[in-house]
Amino acid sequence: MTTDATVLPVRGAAPYDVVIGHGVSARVVDLLGDAPTRVALVVSDTLRGLAAPIEKALAERYALTVIEIPEGEQAKAAATAITCWEALGEAGFTRSDAVVTFGGGATTDLGGFVAATWLRGVRVVHVPTTLLAMVDAAVGGKTGINTGAGKNLVGSFFEPSGVLCDLAFLASLPHAELVAGMGEVVKCGFIADPEILRLVEQTPDVDAVLDPAGPVLRELVERAIAVKIDVVVADLKETGGADGHPGREVLNYGHTLAHAIERAEDYGIRHGEAVAIGCVFVAEVAHRSGLLSAATLERHRTAFGRVGLPIGYDAAAFADLLATMRVDKKSRGAQLRLIVLEESDGVLSPRVLAAPDEQVLAESYAALGSAS
């Protein structure tokens, strides 16, 4: 078993640990302990081979049910959740049993939602296999599925019993998926941890930033997870922060447009790619609203762009995207709300921009096309 693990405690109402390191997925049985009789492993069909060691370990200790789900966002559908619930029912799952998710963010969201809703909640342990899932979906207790109206509109807050971020899995991740995961990492740099931006911008060889075996990417993973932990411990259910801070909503920086783009693309664009575009968009909005300097707007373009993320977009009509944004989870009634950054003496502070000027929104979106 690995000895290089970093343990980041989440000390909210339901405490758990996020364990980061090479080989830490082997700890899944120790984490579950003796309480469960039955365990369900939720895994996409394409990752069944990668999950084989965990599947074997679980089968040796528990009555194991393997639930195969579709790959990616296609998994986050009501029909898939029903399939999972039926499998748990057939296996006789009780409240002392547990679910283990193995895969990317969609698997974590779907599997967490199934665990949250079966018998009103059974234990769940997440084993994220992508950079995006490690720094975002697996931590914080948000679960959900998509509907025709939009992304993650049906869901619940349900914290896991533990998260095992095995960095060894990143070595088998396609390069494009690794790059996409950096969308959430760089976002964390802007909203809370400038050291993330320094590492991304000033590491001489950008390949070192994306090296799954290297120290830079590990530090970025740990820092991004630490940002998310700090936010969710302070505001688990998005009730708001103190002194005008948006609370947990700050994690949705760039996500309002990002989710609209994902829907417009029928989820053919990677989430982290859409987030990068969305962050540049809200930086444009903040700049044109007098909140953000031109230099910090440009820094958004260079930081996301340096790791290979898109910073421009004009593939959908803005009117259609705006209609989708109006039903975003952060909206209140007919009022669109964006998370933006306000700059004062070089210090960035997140805030909510309610009812932004539609002309500013249109001009900001048009600027994305000129950057592509």
Question: Is 203 part of any known ligand binding site?
Answer: no
On whether 245 is known to bind a ligand per the annotation, the reply is: no
- Which 3-state string (H, E, C) describes the chain? CCCCCEEEEECCCCCEEEEEECCHHHHHHHHHCCCCCEEEEEEEHHHCCCCHHHHHHHHHHCEEEEEEECCHHHHCCHHHHHHHHHHHHHHCCCCCCEEEEEECHHHHHHHHHHHHHHHHCCEEEEEECCHHHHHHHCCCCEEEEEECCEEEEEEEECCCCEEEEEHHHHHHCCHHHHHHHHHHHHHHHHHCCHHHHHHHHHCCCHHHHCCCCCHHHHHHHHHHHHHHHHHHHHCCCCCCCCCCCCHHHHHHCCHHHHHHHHHHCCCCCCHHHHHHHHHHHHHHHHHHCCCCCHHHHHHHHHHHHHCCCCCCCCCCCHHHHHHHHCCCCCCECCECEEEEEEEECCEEEEEEEECCCHHHHHHHHHHHHHHC
130 is in an annotated binding site: yes
Is 228 known to sit in a ligand binding site? Answer: no
357 annotated as ligand-binding? no
Q: Is 108 annotated as a binding residue?
A: yes
105 labelled binding-site residue: yes
* 230 assigned binding-site residue: no
195 is in an annotated binding site: no
Please tell me whether 129 is known to bind a ligand.
yes
Binding residue per annotation — 76?
yes
Q: Is 56 annotated as a binding residue?
A: no
**Is 107 labeled as ligand-binding?**
yes
Q: Which residues make up each annotated binding site?
A: 71-76, 105-109, 129-130, 142, 151, 184, 255, 271
Q: Which residues make up each annotated binding site for NAD(+)?
A: 71-76, 105-109, 129-130, 142, 151
Q: Which residues make up each annotated binding site for Zn(2+)?
A: 184, 255, 271
